[in-house]
Amino acid sequence: MGTFIGHVYPGLFLVSYGLYQALVVSKALIVSDSLLNPSCPPRNKGRWVRLWGISYRGLLKMVTGSILIVYEISCIKGGLMLMDREVPPRFMHPKEWQHLTMFILLALNGCVDVMSNNLLPQRCVFLEKGTVALTFYVLLMLLVSHVQGSAGVELQTHSLLILVVFLLMLVLTIQLWAPDAVHLSLIETFLFLMMGSWLVQAGFILYRPVSGYPWQDDDISDIMFITTFFCWHVMTNAFEGNGCEIEQLVSIYWYMSAP
């Protein structure tokens, strides 16, 4: 993950997940549907009802997590070793092991979603919500440890990411007691979009600056503009979420009016 691609790919996954979640939440708002058990469209009933019940979000998490695990391991020359052979032995690749832990958590979270939706006799929503909340508790601890030794631009970029993860962790925790609350799902969707878009932005800031010149850790203007860019992401993702709701409204209107 300590590369441009290592930031952009997880960011794009989170943005895609957030957009999908925005469509689900907006549909529930517009047609007064359930978030936990969305109704199957009349035209999709019959032999397609099983496909409708598949946990595509869980499958996406499993596939994305597995791909990122393979990518992280392949980026390390000589293989991902836990300790060297010196005396006394020292731990190796601490940040890479943290990245790998994050991706394993993502894949396992997808496995839980698929198991709950498609393998258990009855869906266990608390298991799904509890697993994703626990995932973000662990993710927050890893990120706080991840910035040890960082300074300047890198520290400011990751501190803002930690802020988003912390807020998302709080929302996911509250959802354990109110899993079908639409307003909480709206906040969750917005924070997933924020986390994803900011990860992509972090990739460009840290590894491929648009100007072609690296950001300066000792320049206060660079540090301040990172926060400014973050605020622009807040506004953009808020409008993006509203746009998904309008698009869903138009789609439902077209669907209902079609012969």
Buried b (16+ CB within 10 A) or exposed e, 97-110: bbbbebbebbbebb
The 10 Å Cβ neighbour count of residue 139 is: 22
Domains of the chain by residue range = 4-257
**11 vs 3: CA distance, rounded Å:** 13
For the stretch 245-249, contacts whose Cβ atoms lie closer than 8 Å and that sit 24 or more positions apart, written own/partner, are 245/22, 245/26, 245/29, 245/30, 247/23, 248/23, 248/26, 248/27, 248/30, 249/26, 249/30
**90 vs 214: CA distance, rounded Å:** 32
Dihedral over alpha carbons 140, 100, 124, 244 (to 10 degrees): 70
Confidence (pLDDT) at 53: 61
C-alpha distances (whole Å) from 120 to each of 99, 114, 116, 123 are 30, 9, 5, 6
Confidence (pLDDT) at 39: 58
Confidence (pLDDT) at 85: 73
Confidence (pLDDT) at 38: 59
Taking only the tens of pLDDT, the chain with its 259 residues reads 667 888 888 999 999 888 888 888 877 776 666 666 655 555 555 555 555 567 778 888 999 999 999 888 888 777 777 777 777 777 777 888 888 999 999 999 999 988 888 888 888 888 889 999 999 999 999 999 988 878 888 899 999 999 999 999 999 999 999 888 888 888 899 999 999 999 999 999 988 888 888 888 888 988 999 999 999 999 988 876 555 555 554 454 444 444 4
C-beta of residue 99 within 8 angstroms of C-beta of residue 1: yes
Spell out the residues 6+ positions from residue 255 whose beta carbon is closer than 8 angstroms to its own.
41
